[in-house]
Structure 1
Amino acid sequence: MWLYLAALLALYFLRRWHRERQMVGNLPDKHVFITGCDSGFGHLLAKQLDGRGLRVLAACLTEQGAERLQQTTSGRLQTVILDVTCSDSIAAATAWVKEQVGDRGLWGLVNNAGIATPTAPSEWLSKADFVRVLDVNLVGPIEVTLSLLPLVHRARGRVVNMASVLGRVSGMGGGYCPAKYGVEAFSDSLRRELHYFGVKVSIIEPGAFETSLVSPQSLQQSLEQVWSRVPADVREAYGQQYFDHYQKVMQRFFRSASHNLRLVTNAMEHALTARHPRTRYSCGWDAKLFYLPVSYLPASWADFLLTRSMPKPAQGI
């Protein structure tokens, strides 16, 4: 019996390996639109796809970011300025993309733009702190997708959305985790709706990766700014010792982050160029070996594992 089960398992992985090696053709004729290309994953992915011969349409938040990207890529790559929190900016970028792709449509849309801070215990934050992150990480990608979806339809193309393992297990306060949970839900419903039109939707779920926007330095600065405006009664309830310990825990989390951004961009590239892309791509050993298994545990077990290294508030029970 065990021999039969082992044989079936081997056949399953062999079939999966064979399917995932099958690539789509005519890459030089395909346009891919990527948001958040100033730095980090988006910047690297734009260069990576340009090297594969695809026609990359790279959206950057700043002129400086666009210039840096153009200096290291071929003449095929085109840039546009895009603020995903601004409807007028999205409309202008959509019109520009239509001009670029013409009747061929848009093969790939990669919703990569995002921010990670402010991240802190929720009681320290304001509604504006949550809204800022949700606008960039969730509402913006939804509006970009809805605006460009007719072009993706035309090409029977791909939508690749940047989520996170923290969209499966909420490990910190603030708007980041709710936004990533929202990206997961939006992507799931979109995938099922577009399946009948030949459009494929993939979700990227990285673990901890250090970029210019997510670093120990940026996190420390953000935490100090948040703590400085926390109301006096809340500061007293938590205590300075809690803040100092919390800061160390978060610093330790990000210091252990991977610097190999290609683990993520390779997953994005596969989602765009494979004939049979995955529904979800988990990137990083912390995602595969800790966060994803924890997401399947009973809530009490997950709570213990995620809080055992956290400090206790001064006035906690």
Structure 2
Amino acid sequence: MRVDDFDFDLPPERIALRPARPRDAARMLVVEGRAMRDAGVRDLPALLRAGDCLVFNDTRVIPAQLEGQRGVRRDGAASAPGAKIGATLHKRVDLRRWQAFVRNAKRLRVGETVDFGSGVEAVAEERLADGSFILAFAGDEPVELLLERAGTMPLPPYIAGKRGADDADRADYQTMFAREDGAVAAPTAALHFTPGLLDAIAAAGIATETLTLHVGAGTFLPVKADDTDDHVMHAEWGRIEPETAARLNAVRAAGGRIIAVGTTSLRLLESAARTDGTIAPFAGDTSIFITPGYRFRAVGGLMTNFHLPRSTLFMLVSALMGLDVMHAAYSHAIAEGYRFYSYGDSSLLLPER
């Protein structure tokens, strides 16, 4: 399909720069089949059915945004110091190496060291075909500890471009389910949940489960191709435990719906789904790219925030609900003053099945 088909105009004032407070006070647009209505996140227990199951991503965002200066080469050869280098880690390679998107990459050569301050240094070990680098961090401390010293929260560019990250973002850009270090972007649909809302969901007979997908910075990369067939997704690592898969399959067998909380949960569930719709245990990379025409196997609904024009995530929701339905829904949301993107309001998408 043409990428232009997924374009729409969004007024800049619709982009949320801070989350709703309290978190579950956000609005929620409910789209069921072709019908839509305005609601709130707190209405969720009444909008689902007893026996349904909400699936959350328990990844934890690490402070993966680094700012530094180019240093000397690892082999001791001369290298002009001083060039400012920005790095956004987006995928772990092993215990000491991460793949990173680099700002001012033309000034960085393989073998050079970047000093990120606070005693944190990394060698530009390899440049990949997509222009990103493999950074190998010096020392013996876990990289996560190094990032806590030198890194900042990697806010999405549409927020970071309007204001810098601050101390509030350390808590705001983290869901209540965050357990497993490794994401460089939050699974933002789950930012709306509070302990009180979870209690109400349980009281309504709705189950909850968690999986892990370490969201990469590739989720913010623009689609540069003119046709969706020519776009290549970045891989992300995920895991669904055998016990979790078994409980989810029991939900489906009993007639309940699996409702993914966020596109990250949905993509991992669909990556693990067998042809009959059952979910297999999963541990590994996924680069699934869902566009209209995709046949959903496991997921019966999606709770998600509002996404960027021409983005892979708007393509995903259009695959679930229909492109014309989502254009109408987004037009309604814009007209009614919904807040967009990571810190914005939510939508509940329930396709006709």
The two structures share one fold, judged by TM-score above 0.5: no
Pick the TM interval, shorter chain.
Answer: under 0.3
Report which structure shows greater RCO (CA 8 Å, sep ≥6): 2
TM-score, with length taken from structure 1: 0.27
Structure 2 length normalisation: TM-score?
0.25
Structure with the bigger percentage of helix: 1
Structure (1 or 2) with the greater strand fraction: 2
